[in-house]
Structure 1
Amino acid sequence: MRRIGICDTTFARYDMASAAIDELKMHAPDLKIIRRTVPGVKDLPVACKKLIEEEGCEIVMAFGMPGPDEKDKVCAHEASTGLIQAQLMTNTHIIEVFVHEDEESNPKDLKILAENRAREHAQNVIKMLFKPEKLTREAGMGMREGKPDVGPL
Structure 2
Amino acid sequence: MKTIGIVDTTFARFNMGSAAVDEIQQNVSAKIKRITVPGVKDLPVASKKLIEEEGCDIVIALGMPGAKEQDKICAHEASTGIIQAQLMTNTHIIEVFVHEDEGKDEKELAFLMEMRSREHALNVVNMLFHPEKLVKQAGTGQRQGFEDVGTLKH
TM-score by length of 2: 0.98
| Letter paired with 1:66 | P
RMSD: 0.5
For the residues of structure 1 that align with 2:49 and 2:9, how far apart are their CA atoms?
15
- Corresponding residue of 1:25: 25
For the residues of structure 1 that align with 2:31 and 2:87, how far apart are their CA atoms?
23
- Corresponding residue of 1:59: 58
1:129: Cα distance to partner? Answer: 1.0
Number of residue pairs matched?
A: 152
- Identity %, equivalent residues: 68
| DSSP-derived class of the 1:101 partner | coil
| Letter paired with 1:9 | T
- Corresponding residue of 1:119: 118
Which consecutive unaligned segments of at least 5 residues does structure 2 have?
A: none
For the residues of structure 2 that align with 1:133 and 1:34, how far apart are their CA atoms?
25
1:119: Cα distance to partner? Answer: 0.5
Output one character per residue of 1:77-104: Cα deviation in whole Å (capped at 9) or x when no partner: 0000000000000000000000001111
- Corresponding residue of 1:77: 76
* Residue 18 of structure 2 is aligned to residue 7 of structure 1: no
| DSSP-derived class of the 1:128 partner | helix
| Letter paired with 2:130 | K
For the residues of structure 2 that align with 1:135 and 1:18, how far apart are their CA atoms?
24
Q: Which moved more, 1:77-86 or 1:121-130?
A: 121-130
Paired residues for 1:141-152 under 5 Å: 141-152=140-151
For the residues of structure 2 that align with 1:82 and 1:102, how far apart are their CA atoms?
22
Output one character per residue of 1:54-110: Cα deviation in whole Å (capped at 9) or x when no partner: 000000000000000000000000000000000000000000000001111200000
- Corresponding residue of 1:34: 33
- TM superposition outliers: structure 1 runs of 4+ over 3 Å: none
* Residue 100 of structure 2 is aligned to residue 101 of structure 1: yes
Output one character per residue of 1:87-140: Cα deviation in whole Å (capped at 9) or x when no partner: 000000000000001111200000000000000001111110111111011000
For the residues of structure 2 that align with 1:131 and 1:4, how far apart are their CA atoms?
14
For the residues of structure 2 that align with 1:125 and 1:50, how far apart are their CA atoms?
18
For the residues of structure 1 that align with 2:13 and 2:62, how far apart are their CA atoms?
11
| Letter paired with 1:135 | L
For the residues of structure 1 that align with 2:26 and 2:48, how far apart are their CA atoms?
26
